[in-house]
């Protein structure tokens, strides 16, 4: 294992990875490279005989996602690193877990989908892709995810499917209330997961999202039956 040191948006961080990934990342983040050793930010574990996928971990060892293609791992990393870039006006940034399939993107809020690793692998084996601890920017006026014109944008999220502009599904934890949440209650949950942005932009973005998205609720238990979250394929 080796590492590269970056500084993005004033935040220094180090990415530990193997030499093959490092060469790819050095070329990708050329303008963010620094020489000083930075605190550990992410780790990209190389494939093993048992697990033939690259695994992306955060500095706490939390598994953020995995992919067999190094390009896809780099795209996941892009999504996380872009959260360090300054937020544009009229945008809000939210923390979500995204589940992607051919039909679109489902944004899941904590603690939804906080499931064991085996369940995530089960999801992946059926064609879903899971991106964890993701930061997405939402345009407050339209409620659409933003693809910004910055050096990371060219490749940011493209291979992971996050260039989808509209958010069509939200997955919320079911509350103690017997009825499904109203759209305003869904927007309030979305606001509580905001990590950056003006309060007004956060409110507008959350309401714009729930206006256009269908809202699914799930019972939040560790042994949750994932089939209840996503309809059978």
Please select the residue that binds other proteins; options are 6, 207, 215, 229, rule is CB under 8 A.
207
Please select the residue that binds other proteins; options are 19, 20, 211, 228, rule is CB under 8 A.
211
8 A C-beta contact, residue 169 and residue 216: yes
CA distance 156 to 160: 8
Shortest CB 96 distance to other proteins, Å: 16
Shortest CB 191 distance to other proteins, Å: 5
Which window, 11-19, 118-126, 192-200, 224-232, contacts other proteins (CB under 8 A)?
Answer: 192-200
Nearest C-alpha neighbor of 28 from the set 164, 129, 150, 138: 150
CA distance 6 to 29: 8
In angstroms, what is the C-alpha Rg of the chain?
A: 18
Q: Which residues in the 130-189 window bind other proteins by CB under 8 A?
A: 182-185, 187-188
Distance of CA 150 to the CA centre of its chain: 18
Nearer to other proteins, 58 or 193 (CB): 193
Nearest C-alpha neighbor of 101 from the set 168, 177, 8, 11: 168
Shortest CB 180 distance to other proteins, Å: 13
Pattern 82-111, other proteins, x by CB under 8 A: ------------------------------
Nearer to other proteins, 126 or 212 (CB): 212
CA distance 199 to 99: 27
Shortest CB 142 distance to other proteins, Å: 15
Helix (H) or strand (E) holding 121: helix 117-125
Measured torsion, CA atoms of residues 148, 149, 151, 154, in degrees rounded to the nearest 10: 80
CA distance 143 to 126: 29
- Give the binding-site size for other proteins (rule: CB under 8 A): 16
Which window, 75-83, 103-111, 128-136, 204-212, contacts other proteins (CB under 8 A)?
Answer: 204-212
Nearer to other proteins, 122 or 180 (CB): 180
Binding site for other proteins (CB under 8 A): 182-185, 187-188, 191-192, 199-200, 203-204, 206-207, 210-211
């Amino acid at each position: 294992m080796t590492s590269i040191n970056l500084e993005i948006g004033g935040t220094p961080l180090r990415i530990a990875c193997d030499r093959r990934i490092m060469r790819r990342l050095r070329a990708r983040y050329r303008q963010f490279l620094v020489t000083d050793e930075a605190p550990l930010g992410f780790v990209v574990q190389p494939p093993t005989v048992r697990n033939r996928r690259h695994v992306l971990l955060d500095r706490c060892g939390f598994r953020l996602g995995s992919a067999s293609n190094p390009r896809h791992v780099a795209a996941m990393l892009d999504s996380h690193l872009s959260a360090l870039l300054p937020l544009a006006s009229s945008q809000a940034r939210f923390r979500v877990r995204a589940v992607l399939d051919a039909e679109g993107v489902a944004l899941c809020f904590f603690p939804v989908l906080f499931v064991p690793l085996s369940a995530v692998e089960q999801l992946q084996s059926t064609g879903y892709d899971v991106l964890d601890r993701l930061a997405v920017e939402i345009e407050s006026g339209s409620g659409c995810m933003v693809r910004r014109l910055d050096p990371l944008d060219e490749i940011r999220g493209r291979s992971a499917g996050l260039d989808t502009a509209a958010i069509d599904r939200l997955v919320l934890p079911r509350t103690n209330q017997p009825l499904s949440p109203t759209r305003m209650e869904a927007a309030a949950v979305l606001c509580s997961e905001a990590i950056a942005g003006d309060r007004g932009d956060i409110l507008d973005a959350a309401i714009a999202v729930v206006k256009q998205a269908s809202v699914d609720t799930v019972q939040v238990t560790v042994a949750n039956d994932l089939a209840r979250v996503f309809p059978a394929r």
